[in-house]
Structure 1
Amino acid sequence: MAHQPEKIVELSRRVERISNEKIESIVDINQQAKYLSLNARIEAARSGEAGRGFAVVANQVQYVSEQITGIADALKEELAGSIADLIRIGENTLHEIRGYEGRRLGDLALNMIETMDRNLYERSCDVRWWATDSSLVNVLEQPDAQAAGHASRRLGVILDSYTVYLDLWVADAQGRVVASGRPDRYPQVRGANVAHTEWFRRGMATADGGGYAAMDVERERLLGDAHVATYATAIRADADRHGKPLGVLGIFFDWAQQADSIVTSVGLSDEEWTRTRCMLVDRNQRVIAASDGAASLKERYVLRNDGQPRGFYENADRSLVGYSVTPGYETYEGLGWYGVIVQQPRAAFE
């Protein structure tokens, strides 16, 4: 009961409703008794001496009826005050507990998005580090089949160690993919032109070796329409931080698998999971990950956050929404994504 204040309020309202109904029934029955008493006195008066004894009984019935009326009125007044106090206490308690639960959901949402931020920070480090690999620089400085093969094998070795990626690509300055880490799995990648993609354009435009482009989650056609978070940076001449951009390294984070592990590992009880949905929502209000596995990138979730970076609110259906915007991590500033947790209320009677 302590964990379900909704029951206190619901039971109080039920007691109020039942008591009012029963008191009204008493009043109705008592009113009928008054009418019978009145009729009995009228008949007794018509009967004269013979009806005198019956008149005594009728008067007594009238007396008892008046007492019942007084008791019913007093009961109604006393119950109304007590039940009103009980409802008020229950609602105040419910408000306090809902506030605690809402703040907790906001904290869990922050923890969820922070975990993702730390993960994506590592991706930003990976792409900048691997762009200085000599085999990737060589395939752009001296492009030939041997260099392309060596670069692809090198990318494959990296993928064997870093299982969070679907693939790694090297594209030359014209946007043609000259090497990839998984040519057997994705044969359509090699030779594809990616000059039109935002990740390639932004990667080529990075100011120096410390810069990178972090993209929102999208489907990648060349990777079987998989959901990916793409990171890119320029591969520079001589692997020098300020060298001329020769092409771009694009790395494709296996978003669905990695994000699912985060939204399904939030610290909720088994009972809470039956009525809770945890989501990651991007700056365009797209649901990019969901604990129920229903993130299609087409669903929109509009937060009522009133411009606040973190907090909670209650919907009309009494569901609680806790949220937190990405705080970023180290040099990764984040992309304006939110951690969002929507929790339905417990049933009033389980």
Structure 2
Amino acid sequence: MQDRVLDLAYEVSRITEEKVGVIEQVMRQTGILAINARLEAARAGSAGSAFSIVAQEVGSVAQAIRNVSADLRAAIAGNVALLESAGERMRVEMRGARFTDLARNAIEIIDRNLYERSCDVRWWATDSAVVDVLAYDTPEARDFATRRLATILRSYTVYLDLWVADAAGRVVANGRPERYPHVIGSDVSGTTWFREAMRTHSGEDFHVCDIEAAAALFGAPVATYSTAVRRGGETQGERLGALGIFFDWEPQATAIVSGVRQSGEEPGACVMMLDQDMRVIAASNPERRDTRFSLRIDHPERGYYVSGDRLIAYALTPGYETYRGLGWYGCIDAPLAPSN
């Protein structure tokens, strides 16, 4: 609609300029004819005096019409400029609101996705195979836990691996030992995910880390969720160790930002997710990933603004159910004017 308003403004301006130009051309010709008529009347002497008066009046009328056409051009030009300005503001406002909704949609989708991950880690920490490998730590228990974790991974393809660590931070089982054979026996006691898991107050609590490259998983970016594994799988049971699950961030996040529906005429737009430090953790343009984006937050939860020739829209993570979010933003950086 806003583009139609601008198109009409430009068309009115073009037609007005064209028609006023025609009027002025006719009046110039009329003025020349009036001058010629006065010359001929002067040459005719007293016999042409009456015609001279008519020629003079024609010249006056022509000048008056030229003055009117000039005033008309100025008046219409001023109003067309106002119309164009209003149309441009309308376009920016409508695109800004639409992009803000799209940014919120993207961050809401990832929130719902990550909420499910928080449910997964709390559920799997009560699995008897996970509990028993820490309660008994026998070869049979380790083998059973490994097979059980592998079964989970076959159904939940969004994870790179699942690790079970004892109270000292030693990994005793993982779901993909054939892919990550170095994991068993490794010390994770110094990692944030393990320390925070062992600090959880009950089986209803969990911890999630910001997106980071996991060296033990060959540098893949992951969202790591963790919670304590408790004796008997009880909510208030003794903490026996920790379960860490590694969400395969890259393909999931890329699918979300690349799947945000735009109108097709936005080839220069980039859909991003920003963490609380404004680091680009996902982007429809791969070149933007792992860079910093200077987001100007005029309104805490959502908004848009113009920066140079770019339109920036953003929305803060609203969280989902018991997942409060990590202060991330969905963000769209687009050309101020859509490409034709």
Smaller-chain TM-score range? 0.7 to 0.9
Bigger Cα displacement from structure 2, 239-248 vs 158-167: 239-248
**Paired letter, 2:75:** G
Q: Residue 93 and residue 133 in structure 1: after superposition, are their counterparts in 2 closer, same or farther (change >3 A)?
A: same
Confirm whether residue 333 of structure 1 aligns to residue 324 of structure 2. Answer: yes
Of all paired residues, the percent bearing the same amino acid is: 43
Tell me how far apart the structure 1 counterparts of residues 241 and 17 of structure 2 sit (CA, whole Å).
75
* Deviation digits for residues 11-54 of structure 1 (CA, Å, limit 9, x no counterpart): 7888999999x99xx9xx9xxx9xxx9xxx9xxxxxxxx9x9xx
**Displacement of 1:68:** 7.1
For 1:81 and 1:292, the matched residues in 2 are separated by 46
TM superposition score normalised by structure 2: 0.83
Match of 1:275 in 2: 268
Whole-Å separation in 2 of the counterparts to 1:283 and 1:16: 53
1:272 partner SS: coil
The answer to whether 1:249 aligns with 2:243 is yes
**Paired position in structure 2 for 1:57:** none
Partner of 2:51: none
- Paired amino acid for 1:3: D
Give the match's secondary structure for 1:86: helix
1:199 to 178, 187, 193: 193
Distance apart, 1:233 and its partner CA: 0.3
Match of 1:46 in 2: none
The C-alpha deviation readout for 1:228-247, integer Å capped at 9, x for no partner, is 11100001122111112111
Give the AA of the match of 2:252.
Answer: Q
Residues 74, 213 of structure 1: alpha-carbon distance in 2 compared, 3 angstrom cutoff: same
TM-superposition CA deviations, 1:124-182 (whole Å, max 9, x none): 00000000111111111222333222211111000001011111011111212111111
Alignment counterpart, residue 79 of structure 2, candidates 79, 82, 85: 85
Match of 1:290 in 2: 283
Indicate conservation of the 8 Å contact 1:12/1:83, yes or no: no
Deviates more, 1:223-232 or 1:68-77: 68-77
Match of 2:295 among 303, 322, 325: 303
1:295, CA displacement in angstroms?
Answer: 5.0
Q: Is the 8 A contact 2:311 2:333 kept in 1?
A: yes
Q: Count residues with an aligned counterpart.
A: 330
The DSSP-based 3-state class of the residue aligned with 1:232 is strand
3-state SS in 2 of match to 1:243: coil
Deviates further, 327-336 or 74-83: 74-83
Q: Which residue of 1 aligns with 2:312?
A: 321
Shift of the 201–10 alpha-carbon distance from structure 1 to 2, 3 Å rule, reads farther
Report the Cα offset of residue 96 of structure 1.
Answer: 2.1
**CA distance in 2 between partners of 1:85 and 1:322 (Å):** 31
8 Å CA contact 1:8–1:87 kept in 2: the answer is no
Structure 2: distance between partners of 1:95 and 1:126: 47
Whole-angstrom distance in 2 between the partners of 1:161 and 1:295 = 32
- Measure, in 2, the Cα distance between the counterparts of 1:301 and 1:18: 47
Structure 1 296/196 Cα, relative in aligned 2: closer, same or farther at 3 Å?
farther
> Deviation of residue 281 (structure 1)?
0.9
Give unmatched runs, 5+ long, in structure 2.
Answer: 46-54
| Pair 1:12–1:287, CA change in 2 (3 A) | farther
For residue 259 of structure 2, give the secondary structure of its aligned residue in structure 1: coil
SS at match of 1:158: helix
Mark the CA change 1:237 to 1:347 in structure 2 (over 3 Å): closer, same or farther: closer
Q: Which moved more, 1:229-238 or 1:138-147?
A: 138-147
Whether the 8 Å contact between 1:175 and 1:200 is mirrored in structure 2 is yes
Aligned to 1:218: 212
Contact 2:92–2:336 at 8 Å: present in 1 too? no
User: Relative to structure 1, is the Cα distance of residues 295 and 182 closer, same or farther in structure 2, using a 3 angstrom cutoff?
Assistant: farther
* SS state at 2:287 partner: coil
Cα distance between partner residues in 1 of 2:12 and 2:118? 56
Q: CA deviation at 1:278?
A: 1.0
CA contact under 8 A between 2:266 and 2:338: conserved in structure 1?
A: no
Q: Report the AA paired with residue 305 of structure 1.
A: I
Q: Do 1:103 and 1:312's aligned partners in 2 also have CA atoms closer than 8 Å?
A: yes
> How far apart are 1:294 and its partner, in Å?
3.4
- The alignment's TM-score, normalised by the length of structure 1, stands at 0.80
> Hey, what does 2:50 align to over in structure 1?
none
Alignment of 1:18-167 (within 5 A): 72-167=66-161
- The answer to whether the Cα contact below 8 Å between 1:8 and 1:90 also exists between their aligned partners in 2 is no
